[in-house]
Amino acid sequence: NTREDNEQVSYSEPVALDLPQIKERGKIVAITSYSPTSYFIYRGQPMGYEYELLHRLAEYLGLELEIKIAYNLDNFIEMLNTGEGDIVAHGLSITKPRKQHVDFTDYHSVTRQVLIQKKPDDWRKMKLHEIEQQLIRDPLDLIGKPVHVRKNTSYFRRLQNLSQEMGGDIDIKELEGELETNEIIKKVADGEIKYTVADEHIANLNATYYRDLDVETALSFPQRLAWMVRKTSPELRKAVNEWMAGEKKETDYYVIYNKYFQNQKSFRTRVSSKHLSLTGGQISRYDDMIRQGADEIGWDWKLLASQIYQESRFDPQIESWAGAQGLMQVMPSTANALGE
């Protein structure tokens, strides 16, 4: 057993909320994170692998979709069990410690964990065997080396198990839950940390942008990735699994996956763009105004920008058939009531 298997992690008991209550509410609330693959805003438009699949799921269920961002990835389970959201849509490994607190849907993909390390500074001038001599290829060589990962992850548990299997301790450095995997990978690329661990499909994608990274050293066997639901939501889990089984028979399901994990050119273009909310931070010409308004109401400005995109596509002159006007499509009567 790993240390975490033996620890009693404290989580709230799951609220009694299942698909009938969700349908009565009229919307499904999905918890995810800002990342270059799950959910982000590019040129003012919400995008992401999980984001697109969630829209298809909501349509299948006949529900509206609300996205809720987990700013600390360690909070996924707590947010789910307390009812802040109905499903966690993120690439999470199915592990025994997690299954003590939540249920997983059927897996949507399979990956393995790999070591993220930086190639030698002058690697372009070196021969292949010279590069290989300076990289870690045998996990045994990680004994005593510092590897930075978030604590409540399958990466952390894998490093613990690896230390036990090898009979020597890896120097596991714990990182805060606010850091998303892609951000940690960037720290390796920037030379801030020496090593980290990531799922292979995410590692390969980042390596197409950060050419100095090496992601070839495997640290695990294949692992299943899935979404999470509460243990008190068996009907929702059944419905999601039925939807997933149907999706896997459709071409669009694989087109969406390839769009975010195989199309390397598009990924490089997005990551280097000033219009990506995660890097450049510029979403629209109205960013300053949106930030000011978001600060006044205590919202995340990117979430408000996403809502404005849905309402008006950032066109302040648009007017709906019902008379709603402006970026947020506010009815004149509502504006008057608010003194506008």
193-227: per-residue pLDDT in tens?
999 999 998 898 888 888 899 999 999 999 999 99
**pLDDT band at residue 275, thresholds of 50, 70 and 90?**
very low
The rounded mean pLDDT for the chain is 85
| Rounded Cα distance, 107 and 281, in Å | 33
Pairing of strands 195-199, 223-229: unpaired
Checking if the pLDDT of 291 tops 60, the result is: yes
CA distance 263 to 257: 9
Residues classed as catalytic: 311
Q: Is the dihedral of CA 246, 248, 251, 252 positive or negative?
A: positive
pTM over 0.85: no
User: Hey, how many other C-beta atoms are within 10 angstroms of the C-beta on 201?
Assistant: 19
| Mean pLDDT in residue range 300-325 | 72
> What is the rounded average pLDDT of the residues 250-270?
78
Among 82-91, 135-144, 171-180, where is mean pLDDT lowest? 171-180
Whether 139 and 164 have beta carbons less than 8 Å apart is answered as no
Cβ neighbours for 65, distance < 8 A, ≥ 6 positions apart: 27, 28, 30, 54, 55, 57, 58
Whether residue 53 has pLDDT greater than 70: yes
Mean pLDDT of the 105-128 span: 93
Element (H, E) at 259: helix 251-261
Q: Residue 248's pLDDT band (boundaries 50, 70, 90)?
A: very high
